[in-house]
Structure 1
């Protein structure tokens, strides 16, 4: 049944004592100070980030010994590169990469972008494969992006393609990450997941190519059993993907992008924000975490009309409620709960039991599924959608792929892409996890703010909204990219592989050069 197959995003705020630490004579943390470097973008400038982490107190449990420092002196020495890495050129702005069979259907989008001062070019997968160096087509594409950053000054990359129709072949391949989360942290150990951040992370902190396979064993983004590939992770360019399976899907998305950017400006419906959540975890305090984060989102998005669809002790959510809210039009839609490639759902309070949304008030036929999206009729009133949940963005599923695994499915797309590709409405873009998502629970740092809002998916989702509404960053790919950069600056370096996974799997299904709210 669905409930047996669904993946439940898990808490990774591990607060139990660690035997490894508490039985050791070593000091924990091992040093008073650590740092990490990264190379990415800051205000459209290629930048080296230095993040310093100071641990003023270290502890040896076995020795019952505490060491502490009262002050620290930091000296920075920076040497300018001898040669200029990136030329100061602006030949064009948006690089579209697609198979040759999609080019004709992409030409109206190129014309639209150029009419709006976004100089655009198309490079086909076939010409990149035959004309560029690299160990495989994915690395050849990455080297092509690097070349165009350095020689043409591009700002955005739109990948058009994914699984070819309902086969297991790729018309535009992906890179899989192999960051393995410690057993017991999430419900299952996920061996791999898609990461398009690979195509955005071009340079390390010293301007070298960020290969994600520094031990050259052909397994990319390894983080397991002591084998750790060096991964810079900081985006050097805004990357989005519309994983179209055929030319028909390309036409649908091209038409939607053109109409959205041309007609959305100053529309009343854009000021609606749909908020959908409920009780995420069964915890002793009976906190309704989903409502907490939705209230935080509404507070950030001042000036927007919150359309609240919550499971509370007094109400639940029906599938028709979601349909009606989306059909009325909204600038943003935010789902936060649990998911799988096929469905999204949230629990009922106070004990996180049962599932919503359902078909009727009797609580039958739970979850918001891909087939329910086929009833959406919001036409050109399209939201940018964020979904917090596991695997809602796992876009490598197909009918033939399912058959090869001994399964039968009617689902032709993953949840996030199916919402985005709807011809009569749906979303203009969706941000979702390609792997197991993670929201925290409790208040491990005792600051009276639930950790659901402060780390992992919750932090990223709220940061995206903050950057748009409070900092006026209104280009879709830049907003997502800056949220990732700020996440890395805030959390990376704490020796938690979960932080690496959070940014690697946070997939943008949409045009990175999209002007949020229209031109």
Structure 2
């Protein structure tokens, strides 16, 4: 085991109904078959590809149910696939204990793609009509079409049928298209949750502007917001200042990410579908992403750059999709706009994502859901806020924590082997209040909390020639797995 870096403990506990669930929430005391805390929806061709991801999440105490769009289409009655998906999701969140929704695939225009988005219609500040892929539609209790004209999310005409997330369910889209994309992203998730850097990477944030320096007011706002939730950490600013001989372009961006020094990144500036724009027409594109070397040091990002999160375009991939899909480099999750949208207030609004995720210690999906819950009153009152609520999406795994403390890899001890029959299995660790899950080859599954000493006891009836798999994890820990044969 790697040497441990001790950090302050967080008490793991369920919280009051109606409040976003902590990212370490799990189904304690369950035995198979267990309810799915995660619902993953994907295309029929990718169901098998997602099974290793689901197996990993189950080991961490988050059972996953995978449903294909074909299965949903056959089981639910509605006028189109998107409405069937919405009804399926509401059934799971309302009745089956599901706390996270993963849309396991990207979308294309006109209701096509692996998991098609619901397009909503908006009028931009320039007065132009634009369709926006709106994943929060899938969390809604309503169908977003008051006048039943087949045009969804119109701010005035459909107002009575629009509602926004309440912060109780986390949602994210992992915008993959191929089996190779799923494998690459699964490998990155496993690294993020089991081999996260045991350094100040977790508590360091970089704010980068591709054009001008930040205004004093905006910089002060970010300083105040982040300092409240990243205790003992740092927030660094990167930008061009030609008068002072400072340059921040694609080369400097590559150096910033490849330094593996900042586990949280925010990027401000113009953008296109295929890249972030810098001065003198320089860009960060898929080609620059391929030059990254930040293996196993994957940051979570936010960006206000327009179109960078456009996951529904036939021309593939967007720059954010490149950051997500590229194997062994890039980012683990990005909050980004899918369209141009209103720029006013976006920077300060996205600082609230970090405030929720780090301050309330909720998952990335729940943090964005809470942000949008906080926007509901504004979105109801102003079409520009409604557009912003629709166009900001989390691209990545919504169950991931934001890692607000330096993690460590615990030492886990158990018997080298077990005899068959009834017994009590004692697992010892130096990870107080960690999440400890148990699985065997025949479907037995249980999850519990370690005590203050890091220990747990499982009463078992084990079968000969099987294997017991123990996984210890938690917000402060890199996950460790122990396999015990039964002979």
TM-score normalized by the length of structure 1: 0.66
Provide the alpha-carbon RMSD of the alignment. 2.9
Q: Would you say the 8 A contact 1:243–1:509 is kept in 2?
A: yes
CA shift, 1:222, in A, is 1.4
Deviations 1:452-494 (A, max 9, x none): xxxx31232111122233x2324111111111112225x344x
**Structure 1 residue 295: deviation in Å?**
4.5
* Structure 1 contact 417–430 (Cα < 8 Å) conserved: no
Counterpart in the other structure of 2:253 = 322
For 1:297 and 1:379, how far apart are their aligned partners in 2? 29
CA 510–91 in structure 1, closer or farther in 2 if over 3 Å, else same? same
2:366 paired with 1:478:
yes
- The equivalences for 1:411-450 within 5 A come to 412-440=316-344
Is the 1:274–1:326 Cα contact (8 Å) retained in structure 2? no
1:229, CA displacement in angstroms? 5.5
Check conservation: 1:277, 1:290, Cα contact below 8 A.
no
- After superposition, the Cα gap between the structure-2 partners of 1:297 and 1:398, relative to the gap in structure 1 and judged at 3 Å, is farther
2:265 counterpart (324, 333, 339): 333
Contact 1:269 1:328 in 2 (8 A): no
Structure 2 SS opposite 1:274:
strand
Conserved? CA contact 1:279–1:287, under 8 Å: no
In 1, Cα distance between the equivalents of 2:177 and 2:340?
A: 24
In the alignment, the residues of structure 1 paired with residue 131 and residue 16 of structure 2 have an alpha-carbon distance, to the nearest angstrom, of 31
What's the CA shift string for 1:57-94, capped at 9, x where partnerless?
A: xxxxxxxxxxxxxxxxxxxxxxxxxxxxxxxxx82200
Task: Identify the residue that residue 79 of structure 2 maps to in structure 1.
Answer: 135
Which contiguous aligned blocks of 4+ residues in structure 1 show a shift greater than 3 angstroms? 166-169, 226-229, 265-268, 278-281, 286-302
Question: How many Å apart are 1:368 and its aligned residue?
Answer: 2.4
Distance, in Å, in 1 between the alignment partners of 2:330 and 2:120 is 29
**Alpha-carbon spacing, 1:133–1:343, altered in 2? closer, same or farther (3 Å):** same
1:458 aligns to what?
Answer: 347
3-state SS of paired residue (2:106): coil
94 and 480 in structure 1: CA distance in 2 versus 1, 3 angstrom threshold: same
Matched residue of 1:191: which SS? strand
Deviation at 1:382, TM superposition (A): 0.4
C-alpha distance in 1, partners of 2:17/2:52? 30
Of residues 385, 394, 401, the one that matches 1:508 is: 394
- The 3-state SS of whatever aligns with 1:193 is strand
In structure 1, the partner of 2:418 is: none
Alignment of 1:138-217 (within 5 A): 138-163=82-107, 169-181=112-124, 185-186=125-126, 189-201=128-140, 203=141, 210-217=142-149
Q: Report how far residue 254 of structure 1 moved.
A: 1.0
The number of residues matched between the two structures is: 374
Unaligned 5+ runs, structure 1: 1-41, 48-89, 204-209, 346-354, 357-363, 400-411, 441-455
User: SS at the partner of 1:239?
Assistant: strand
Deviation of residue 370 (structure 1)?
Answer: 3.1
Inter-partner Cα distance in structure 1 for 2:239 and 2:224:
14
1:271 Cα shift? 2.6
Structure 2 CA distance for partners of 1:492 and 1:193, relative to 1, 3 Å: closer
Determine if the alignment matches structure 1 residue 248 to structure 2 residue 180: yes
Question: d(CA) in 2 for partners of 1:336 and 1:429?
Answer: 16
Cα separation, 1, equivalents of 2:276 and 2:222 = 16
Partner of 1:231: 162
